[in-house]
Amino acid sequence: MEKSILITGGAGFIGSHVVRLFVKKYPNYRIVNLDCLTYAGNLENLKDIEGSKNYAFAKVDINDEDLLKEVFNDYQITDVIHLAAESHVDRSITDPLAFVKTNVMGTVNLLNTAKNHWKDLDNHLFYHVSTDEVYGSLDDGGFFLETTPYDPQSPYSSSKAASDHFVRAYANTYGLKTVISNCSNNYGPNQFPEKLIPLCIHNIKQNKPLPVYGKGDNIRDWLFVLDHAIAIDLVFHKGKTGETYNIGGFNEWKNIDIVKLLCEIMDRKLGRDKGASEQLITFVKDRAGHDQRYAIDADKINKELGWKPSLTFEVGIEKTVDWYLENEGWLDGVTSGDYQKYYQQHYS
Protein backbone atom coordinates (compact mmCIF):
# COMPACT_ATOMS: atom_id res chain seq x y z
CA MET A 1 0.00 0.00 0.00
CA GLU A 2 1.31 3.42 -1.00
CA LYS A 3 -0.34 5.10 2.01
CA SER A 4 -2.35 3.95 5.02
CA ILE A 5 -4.66 6.83 5.89
CA LEU A 6 -6.56 7.11 9.14
CA ILE A 7 -9.82 8.99 8.56
CA THR A 8 -11.52 9.82 11.86
CA GLY A 9 -15.27 10.39 12.03
CA GLY A 10 -15.72 8.43 8.81
CA ALA A 11 -19.13 7.11 9.84
CA GLY A 12 -20.53 10.62 10.13
CA PHE A 13 -22.00 12.92 7.51
CA ILE A 14 -18.95 14.50 5.84
CA GLY A 15 -16.55 11.74 6.88
CA SER A 16 -18.55 9.06 5.07
CA HIS A 17 -18.36 11.00 1.81
CA VAL A 18 -14.61 11.49 2.26
CA VAL A 19 -14.07 7.79 3.05
CA ARG A 20 -16.08 6.70 -0.02
CA LEU A 21 -14.22 9.09 -2.32
CA PHE A 22 -10.79 7.91 -1.09
CA VAL A 23 -11.67 4.20 -1.09
CA LYS A 24 -12.96 4.36 -4.67
CA LYS A 25 -10.41 6.77 -6.12
CA TYR A 26 -7.27 5.36 -4.50
CA PRO A 27 -7.20 1.53 -4.58
CA ASN A 28 -3.49 1.77 -3.74
CA TYR A 29 -4.24 3.43 -0.36
CA ARG A 30 -5.54 1.66 2.71
CA ILE A 31 -8.34 3.71 4.28
CA VAL A 32 -8.91 3.09 7.97
CA ASN A 33 -12.15 4.61 9.21
CA LEU A 34 -11.85 5.27 12.95
CA ASP A 35 -15.10 6.22 14.64
CA CYS A 36 -16.66 5.52 18.04
CA LEU A 37 -20.20 5.62 16.58
CA THR A 38 -21.91 8.31 18.63
CA TYR A 39 -25.54 9.13 17.78
CA ALA A 40 -24.13 10.82 14.63
CA GLY A 41 -22.05 7.90 13.39
CA ASN A 42 -23.84 5.43 11.16
CA LEU A 43 -22.13 2.62 9.22
CA GLU A 44 -25.22 2.44 6.97
CA ASN A 45 -23.64 5.48 5.30
CA LEU A 46 -20.84 3.24 3.98
CA LYS A 47 -22.71 0.04 3.14
CA ASP A 48 -21.74 0.24 -0.53
CA ILE A 49 -17.99 0.20 0.17
CA GLU A 50 -17.67 -1.79 3.42
CA GLY A 51 -16.49 -4.90 1.53
CA SER A 52 -13.72 -3.06 -0.37
CA LYS A 53 -10.25 -4.60 -0.02
CA ASN A 54 -8.62 -1.28 0.83
CA TYR A 55 -11.11 -0.37 3.60
CA ALA A 56 -11.06 -1.14 7.32
CA PHE A 57 -13.17 0.06 10.22
CA ALA A 58 -12.09 0.52 13.85
CA LYS A 59 -14.62 1.36 16.53
CA VAL A 60 -12.42 3.55 18.71
CA ASP A 61 -12.87 6.75 20.69
CA ILE A 62 -10.21 9.34 19.84
CA ASN A 63 -9.78 9.84 23.59
CA ASP A 64 -8.67 6.22 24.05
CA GLU A 65 -4.87 6.47 24.01
CA ASP A 66 -4.16 2.72 24.10
CA LEU A 67 -6.56 1.77 21.34
CA LEU A 68 -5.37 4.64 19.17
CA LYS A 69 -1.77 3.42 19.50
CA GLU A 70 -2.91 -0.07 18.59
CA VAL A 71 -4.59 1.19 15.41
CA PHE A 72 -1.49 3.20 14.40
CA ASN A 73 0.64 0.07 14.92
CA ASP A 74 -1.70 -2.49 13.39
CA TYR A 75 -2.32 -0.49 10.23
CA GLN A 76 1.04 1.34 10.09
CA ILE A 77 -0.80 4.63 9.64
CA THR A 78 1.08 7.07 7.39
CA ASP A 79 -1.33 10.04 7.40
CA VAL A 80 -4.39 11.33 9.25
CA ILE A 81 -7.49 13.15 8.02
CA HIS A 82 -9.26 14.19 11.20
CA LEU A 83 -13.02 14.80 11.04
CA ALA A 84 -14.29 13.15 14.26
CA ALA A 85 -16.06 15.77 16.35
CA GLU A 86 -19.19 16.77 18.15
CA SER A 87 -20.66 18.97 15.45
CA HIS A 88 -24.00 20.47 16.45
CA VAL A 89 -24.12 24.00 17.90
CA ASP A 90 -27.41 23.46 19.82
CA ARG A 91 -25.97 20.41 21.57
CA SER A 92 -22.85 22.41 22.47
CA ILE A 93 -25.07 24.91 24.26
CA THR A 94 -26.64 22.23 26.46
CA ASP A 95 -23.51 20.08 26.93
CA PRO A 96 -20.30 22.09 26.33
CA LEU A 97 -18.07 19.59 28.16
CA ALA A 98 -18.80 16.85 25.63
CA PHE A 99 -17.41 19.23 22.99
CA VAL A 100 -14.27 19.97 25.00
CA LYS A 101 -13.75 16.25 25.54
CA THR A 102 -13.98 15.16 21.91
CA ASN A 103 -13.03 18.25 19.94
CA VAL A 104 -10.21 19.54 22.15
CA MET A 105 -8.91 16.65 24.25
CA GLY A 106 -9.59 14.02 21.61
CA THR A 107 -7.77 16.07 18.97
CA VAL A 108 -4.76 16.57 21.24
CA ASN A 109 -4.70 12.85 22.00
CA LEU A 110 -4.73 12.09 18.28
CA LEU A 111 -1.99 14.66 17.58
CA ASN A 112 0.13 13.16 20.34
CA THR A 113 -0.35 9.60 19.13
CA ALA A 114 0.57 10.57 15.58
CA LYS A 115 3.65 12.55 16.68
CA ASN A 116 4.90 9.69 18.87
CA HIS A 117 4.21 6.99 16.29
CA TRP A 118 5.82 8.64 13.30
CA LYS A 119 9.61 8.36 13.41
CA ASP A 120 10.39 10.76 10.57
CA LEU A 121 7.78 13.52 10.83
CA ASP A 122 8.64 14.89 7.37
CA ASN A 123 7.04 11.92 5.64
CA HIS A 124 3.60 12.17 7.21
CA LEU A 125 0.67 14.56 7.15
CA PHE A 126 -1.89 15.41 9.81
CA TYR A 127 -4.87 17.07 8.08
CA HIS A 128 -7.36 18.72 10.42
CA VAL A 129 -10.85 19.42 9.08
CA SER A 130 -12.38 22.50 10.68
CA THR A 131 -15.15 25.03 10.30
CA ASP A 132 -15.60 28.66 9.30
CA GLU A 133 -17.41 29.18 12.64
CA VAL A 134 -14.00 29.70 14.32
CA TYR A 135 -13.92 33.19 12.73
CA GLY A 136 -17.06 34.27 14.61
CA SER A 137 -19.98 36.18 13.13
CA LEU A 138 -20.16 38.70 10.27
CA ASP A 139 -22.48 41.67 9.79
CA ASP A 140 -23.82 42.52 6.34
CA GLY A 141 -20.48 43.03 4.59
CA GLY A 142 -17.21 41.18 4.12
CA PHE A 143 -16.06 37.59 4.06
CA PHE A 144 -13.98 35.24 6.20
CA LEU A 145 -10.42 35.06 4.86
CA GLU A 146 -7.68 32.67 6.00
CA THR A 147 -6.16 35.68 7.78
CA THR A 148 -9.34 36.68 9.64
CA PRO A 149 -8.63 36.61 13.40
CA TYR A 150 -10.30 33.82 15.34
CA ASP A 151 -13.34 35.01 17.30
CA PRO A 152 -15.46 31.93 18.12
CA GLN A 153 -18.80 32.65 19.79
CA SER A 154 -20.41 29.29 20.64
CA PRO A 155 -19.12 26.38 22.72
CA TYR A 156 -18.92 24.37 19.46
CA SER A 157 -16.88 26.96 17.56
CA SER A 158 -14.70 27.61 20.62
CA SER A 159 -13.87 23.92 20.85
CA LYS A 160 -13.04 23.78 17.12
CA ALA A 161 -10.91 26.94 17.41
CA ALA A 162 -9.02 25.39 20.34
CA SER A 163 -8.38 22.24 18.31
CA ASP A 164 -7.10 24.32 15.35
CA HIS A 165 -4.70 26.10 17.73
CA PHE A 166 -3.40 22.78 19.05
CA VAL A 167 -2.79 21.55 15.50
CA ARG A 168 -0.72 24.67 14.78
CA ALA A 169 1.06 24.30 18.13
CA TYR A 170 2.10 20.73 17.23
CA ALA A 171 3.44 21.96 13.88
CA ASN A 172 5.36 24.81 15.51
CA THR A 173 6.63 22.96 18.57
CA TYR A 174 7.31 19.43 17.35
CA GLY A 175 7.59 19.86 13.58
CA LEU A 176 4.47 17.82 12.78
CA LYS A 177 3.42 18.40 9.16
CA THR A 178 -0.11 19.75 9.29
CA VAL A 179 -2.73 21.37 7.12
CA ILE A 180 -6.10 22.82 8.15
CA SER A 181 -9.21 23.62 6.13
CA ASN A 182 -12.16 25.67 7.37
CA CYS A 183 -15.39 25.01 5.52
CA SER A 184 -18.81 26.65 5.46
CA ASN A 185 -22.12 24.84 6.19
CA ASN A 186 -22.46 21.54 4.35
CA TYR A 187 -25.68 19.95 3.09
CA GLY A 188 -26.43 16.72 1.23
CA PRO A 189 -27.19 13.01 1.72
CA ASN A 190 -26.56 11.36 5.12
CA GLN A 191 -26.72 14.52 7.25
CA PHE A 192 -28.24 13.85 10.66
CA PRO A 193 -31.73 15.41 10.81
CA GLU A 194 -30.89 17.76 13.67
CA LYS A 195 -29.30 20.23 11.23
CA LEU A 196 -31.52 22.77 9.46
CA ILE A 197 -31.89 21.26 5.97
CA PRO A 198 -32.52 17.57 6.78
CA LEU A 199 -34.64 18.57 9.78
CA CYS A 200 -36.93 20.61 7.52
CA ILE A 201 -37.12 17.87 4.87
CA HIS A 202 -38.04 15.33 7.55
CA ASN A 203 -40.61 17.58 9.24
CA ILE A 204 -42.24 18.68 5.99
CA LYS A 205 -42.67 15.02 5.04
CA GLN A 206 -44.31 14.33 8.38
CA ASN A 207 -46.37 17.55 8.44
CA LYS A 208 -44.59 18.69 11.59
CA PRO A 209 -43.71 22.31 12.52
CA LEU A 210 -40.58 23.83 10.96
CA PRO A 211 -38.83 25.65 13.83
CA VAL A 212 -37.18 28.84 12.56
CA TYR A 213 -34.98 30.49 15.19
CA GLY A 214 -35.59 34.21 15.84
CA LYS A 215 -36.65 36.11 12.72
CA GLY A 216 -35.03 33.64 10.32
CA ASP A 217 -32.73 36.36 9.00
CA ASN A 218 -29.45 34.68 9.97
CA ILE A 219 -27.30 33.87 6.97
CA ARG A 220 -25.35 30.70 6.20
CA ASP A 221 -23.12 29.89 3.21
CA TRP A 222 -24.07 26.41 1.93
CA LEU A 223 -21.86 23.87 0.15
CA PHE A 224 -22.79 20.43 -1.22
CA VAL A 225 -21.02 17.78 0.87
CA LEU A 226 -19.37 16.03 -2.08
CA ASP A 227 -17.75 19.31 -3.12
CA HIS A 228 -16.27 19.53 0.38
CA ALA A 229 -14.96 15.96 0.05
CA ILE A 230 -13.39 16.83 -3.33
CA ALA A 231 -11.74 19.89 -1.75
CA ILE A 232 -10.39 17.72 1.09
CA ASP A 233 -8.87 15.34 -1.47
CA LEU A 234 -7.16 18.30 -3.19
CA VAL A 235 -5.90 19.89 0.04
CA PHE A 236 -4.60 16.51 1.24
CA HIS A 237 -2.63 15.90 -1.96
CA LYS A 238 -1.73 19.39 -3.16
CA GLY A 239 -2.11 21.71 -0.17
CA LYS A 240 1.03 23.32 1.24
CA THR A 241 1.97 22.07 4.69
CA GLY A 242 1.42 24.58 7.46
CA GLU A 243 -1.24 26.36 5.41
CA THR A 244 -4.94 26.98 5.99
CA TYR A 245 -7.55 26.77 3.22
CA ASN A 246 -11.05 28.22 3.44
CA ILE A 247 -13.67 26.19 1.56
CA GLY A 248 -17.06 27.61 0.56
CA GLY A 249 -19.42 28.00 -2.35
CA PHE A 250 -20.12 31.77 -2.35
CA ASN A 251 -23.69 30.68 -1.71
CA GLU A 252 -25.32 32.74 1.04
CA TRP A 253 -28.92 32.18 2.09
CA LYS A 254 -31.13 33.60 4.82
CA ASN A 255 -32.50 30.71 6.90
CA ILE A 256 -36.11 31.66 6.18
CA ASP A 257 -35.46 31.63 2.43
CA ILE A 258 -33.91 28.15 2.62
CA VAL A 259 -36.91 26.88 4.60
CA LYS A 260 -39.34 28.39 2.07
CA LEU A 261 -37.38 26.90 -0.82
CA LEU A 262 -37.52 23.46 0.79
CA CYS A 263 -41.29 23.86 1.26
CA GLU A 264 -41.67 24.73 -2.42
CA ILE A 265 -39.57 21.76 -3.60
CA MET A 266 -41.32 19.34 -1.26
CA ASP A 267 -44.81 20.57 -2.29
CA ARG A 268 -43.87 19.83 -5.90
CA LYS A 269 -42.31 16.42 -5.17
CA LEU A 270 -45.06 15.25 -2.80
CA GLY A 271 -47.86 16.55 -5.04
CA ARG A 272 -49.14 18.95 -2.37
CA ASP A 273 -50.91 22.23 -3.13
CA LYS A 274 -48.59 25.19 -3.71
CA GLY A 275 -47.93 26.90 -0.37
CA ALA A 276 -49.18 23.95 1.73
CA SER A 277 -45.89 23.18 3.49
CA GLU A 278 -45.16 26.86 4.26
CA GLN A 279 -48.03 26.68 6.75
CA LEU A 280 -45.71 24.55 8.89
CA ILE A 281 -43.19 27.38 9.42
CA THR A 282 -43.10 28.27 13.11
CA PHE A 283 -40.93 31.06 14.48
CA VAL A 284 -39.41 29.96 17.79
CA LYS A 285 -37.14 31.43 20.47
CA ASP A 286 -33.75 32.35 19.06
CA ARG A 287 -30.65 30.24 19.69
CA ALA A 288 -28.53 31.69 22.54
CA GLY A 289 -25.67 33.78 21.10
CA HIS A 290 -26.83 33.00 17.54
CA ASP A 291 -24.14 33.96 14.97
CA GLN A 292 -25.67 36.36 12.45
CA ARG A 293 -23.82 35.58 9.25
CA TYR A 294 -21.12 33.27 7.87
CA ALA A 295 -19.57 33.84 4.45
CA ILE A 296 -16.38 32.29 3.12
CA ASP A 297 -13.99 33.85 0.64
CA ALA A 298 -12.78 30.72 -1.19
CA ASP A 299 -10.41 32.58 -3.49
CA LYS A 300 -7.20 31.02 -2.15
CA ILE A 301 -8.21 27.38 -2.71
CA ASN A 302 -9.57 28.35 -6.11
CA LYS A 303 -6.39 30.17 -7.24
CA GLU A 304 -3.82 27.88 -5.62
CA LEU A 305 -5.44 24.46 -5.99
CA GLY A 306 -7.95 25.05 -8.78
CA TRP A 307 -10.97 24.02 -6.66
CA LYS A 308 -14.46 25.31 -7.24
CA PRO A 309 -17.86 23.79 -6.45
CA SER A 310 -18.99 21.33 -9.11
CA LEU A 311 -22.72 21.77 -8.41
CA THR A 312 -24.98 24.79 -8.31
CA PHE A 313 -27.14 25.08 -5.20
CA GLU A 314 -30.29 24.55 -7.27
CA VAL A 315 -29.02 21.15 -8.46
CA GLY A 316 -27.53 20.19 -5.07
CA ILE A 317 -30.68 20.90 -3.09
CA GLU A 318 -32.88 18.91 -5.53
CA LYS A 319 -30.45 15.98 -5.27
CA THR A 320 -30.54 16.25 -1.49
CA VAL A 321 -34.34 16.26 -1.24
CA ASP A 322 -34.50 13.32 -3.69
CA TRP A 323 -31.99 11.36 -1.58
CA TYR A 324 -34.01 11.84 1.61
CA LEU A 325 -37.24 10.89 -0.14
CA GLU A 326 -35.64 7.78 -1.67
CA ASN A 327 -33.96 6.73 1.60
CA GLU A 328 -36.83 6.75 4.04
CA GLY A 329 -35.35 3.68 5.77
CA TRP A 330 -32.16 5.60 6.60
CA LEU A 331 -34.14 8.52 8.01
CA ASP A 332 -36.46 6.25 10.02
CA GLY A 333 -33.52 4.29 11.46
CA VAL A 334 -31.72 7.47 12.45
CA THR A 335 -34.74 9.16 14.00
CA SER A 336 -35.90 6.05 15.89
CA GLY A 337 -32.37 5.26 17.08
CA ASP A 338 -32.72 1.65 15.82
CA TYR A 339 -29.30 1.70 14.20
CA GLN A 340 -27.72 2.56 17.56
CA LYS A 341 -29.31 -0.49 19.18
CA TYR A 342 -27.82 -2.62 16.39
CA TYR A 343 -24.32 -1.22 17.03
CA GLN A 344 -24.63 -1.82 20.75
CA GLN A 345 -25.29 -5.49 19.99
CA HIS A 346 -22.62 -5.90 17.32
CA TYR A 347 -19.77 -3.60 18.27
CA SER A 348 -19.69 -3.36 22.06
From 19, 49, 77, 85, residue interacting with ligand NAD (rule: CB under 6 A):
85
Q: Which is nearer to ligand NAD, 9 or 216 (CB)?
A: 9
Residue 135 annotated as catalytic: no
Q: What does the buried/exposed string (b/e) look like for 286-308 if buried means 16 or more CB atoms within 10 Å of the residue's CB?
A: eeeeebebbbbbbebbeeebebe
**Residue 248 interface partner, choices ligand NAD, ligand TYD, none, CB cut-off 5-8 Å depending on type:** none
Which residues contact residue 127 at a Cβ distance below 8 angstroms, ignoring those fewer than 6 apart? 79, 80, 81, 82, 178, 179, 180, 181, 232, 235, 236, 239
Residue 233 annotated as catalytic: no
Q: Which is nearer to ligand TYD, 7 or 89 (CB)?
A: 89
Q: Which is nearer to ligand NAD, 86 or 227 (CB)?
A: 86
Minimum Å gap between C-beta 240 and ligand NAD is 20
* DSSP codes joined into one string, 135-200: G----SS--B-TTSPP---SHHHHHHHHHHHHHHHHHHHH---EEEEEE-EEESTT--TTSHHHHH
Query: Residue 4: enclosing H or E segment and its boundaries?
Result: strand 3-8
**Residue 14 interface partner, choices ligand NAD, ligand TYD, none, CB cut-off 5-8 Å depending on type:** ligand NAD
Which range in 8-16, 50-58, 262-270, 307-315 contacts ligand NAD by CB under 6 A?
Answer: 8-16
Instruction: Tell me the Cα Rg of the chain.
Output: 20
Minimum Å gap between C-beta 314 and ligand NAD is 19
Q: Could you list the residues that contact ligand NAD (CB under 6 A)? A: 8-9, 11-15, 35-38, 40-41, 61-63, 83-87, 102, 106, 129, 131, 160, 183, 185-186, 192
* Residues that are catalytic: 132-133, 156
